[in-house]
A and B are shown apart, each in its own frame.
Chain A
Amino acid sequence: MNNAKIALTALTVVVALMTLFVRIPLPSRGYFNFGDVAVVFSGLVLGQLAQNRKFLWGAAAGGIGSALADIIGGFGLFAPITLIAKGMEGGLCALASGRPRYIRWAFLLLGGVSMVAGYFIAETLVPSIGLQGAVSEVLPNLIQAGGGIAGGTLTYGAFRHVAGEAGRKGTP
C-alpha cells in the first residue's frame, strides 16, 4: 500500500464513522449530518497526496464512506444517491487542493453545489420523496454543504499544522 492508498482507506473509515456520529432526520426522509466536514477534509488531504486522478481519489473516500454510513445507519434508500452526490463533492474538493486561493474556493463551492444539486435531482426522481421532499431538503443540504466547506477547510488547516506541511504533505 502506498501513502495515498493508506490515506484513502483511513479516510473512508473516518467519513463513514463521522457521518454516523451526529444525525438529525429531515422532512424528506433523509438526515442532516456533519459528515461533509469529513468529506471535504478527505478531498483536501487526498488531493495533496494523489499524484494523478485526484478527482477519483477524493470521490472514492467521500462517496464510499458516506454511502456505507447510509447503509449501516438504516438509510439504505439514499446510499446510491449519496455515493454519487458525496463522491462529486469529495472529488471536486480533491481538485481544489493545492490550487491558488480563488480557484481553490471555486472548486470547494462547486463541490458543495454539486452535492446539493445531486440530492435534489435524485430525490425528485424517487417516487416516495418527490419534488416536495426534494425542495424541503435544499436548505438543510445548503447548510450542510456550507458547514462542510467551512469546517473541512478549518480542519484541514489544523491538520496541516499538526502533520507539518513540509515534506510529507497529507501523511501524518
Chain B
Amino acid sequence: MPMLKLSALALGTGWFFWLFVFGPLYSHLPAQSAALAVALLWSYLRFGRRETISLLKFCLPFVAFLLAFGLIFHFTRLLGRQDWLEDTIVKCLVFPSSLTFLKIMLSYVTYLDILRLPLSMNRRIDMITVKSAFQKGSRALKRFSWYLNTYSGLKSRHRIRYAMTRYACLIIALYLFLYQEIENSNRLLKNRYRHLG
C-alpha cells in the first residue's frame, strides 16, 4: 500500500513538472495561472491560510527580483528580444506554483509510509533523516536570516560586504545546524530500533 501511494505521488509530481516546468504548458500563460490558482487552493485546504500566506511571502523576494529585472530587460529590449515580459511573468508563476505543489506532494509522504517501505531498516532510517533535514532546513534558514538581521555587529557601511558576510554566516549556521540535527536524529532512530525493537 505505501509503495502504491508513493508511486502515485511520484507520478503526480513527475506529471506536474513535465507539463508545467519542462514541457508543453511551460509558456502557456493561462495554464500557468490556473496551475498556480489550483496549487494555492490546495495548499489553503491542506495547510490553512497562515501557512499558504507564509509560503507566498517566501516566494515574494524572488518573484520581485525576477519581475524587476524582467521589466528592465523588456524596456531596454535586451538582445533584441520582445518577449522578456511574457517570459518573466511565466517564471514568476512557475516558481510559486512548483514550490507549492512540491510541498503539498511531500506533505503526503508520512514517516509511517517510509517505515512501511520494503527496504532495510538502515535505508529507511536514512530516508526519514533526509526528509526531516529538508523540512528543518527551510524553516531554519528563515529563522537564521531573521537573527542575522538583528545582529548589529555584522552591519557594515559597505552594503556588498555586509551582504556577503551575512550570506557566508547563513551558510555556516545552516550547515552546522543541519549536521547536528541529522547526526542526532539518525543516532536516536538507530538506537530506538536496536534497543526498543
A-side residues, CB < 8 A to B, are 1, 5-7, 9-11, 13-14, 17-18, 20-25, 27, 29, 31, 34, 37-38, 41, 45, 71-77, 132-133, 136, 151, 154-155, 158-159, 162-163, 171-172
Contact = CB atoms under 8 A, between A and B. Distances in A.
A88 B162 CA distance: 29
Given A17-B138, A27-B81, A162-B176, 8 more contacts: A14-B178, A17-B137, A72-B99, A73-B99, A74-B94, A74-B97, A76-B98, A158-B168
A144 B36 CA distance: 31
A22 B64 CA distance: 11
Interface of B: 17, 21-22, 26, 62, 65-66, 69-70, 73, 78-79, 81, 87-88, 91, 93-95, 97-99, 102, 126, 129-130, 133-134, 137-138, 141, 164, 167-168, 170-172, 174-176, 178-180, 182-183, 186
Contacts of A10: 133, 175, 178-179, 182
A18 B171 contact: yes
B168 A9 contact: no
Contact of A38 (B65, B81, B171): B171
A23 B164 contact: no
A152 B69 CA distance: 26
Contact of B21 (A25, A71, A151, A162): A71
Given A1-B186, A37-B167, A75-B91, A14 B175 contact: yes
Given A10-B178, A151-B167, A155-B172, A74 B91 contact: yes
Contacts of A20: 62
Contact of A14 (B73, B129, B174): B174
Contacts of B129: 1, 9
Contacts of A1: 126, 129, 182-183, 186
Contacts of B180: 172
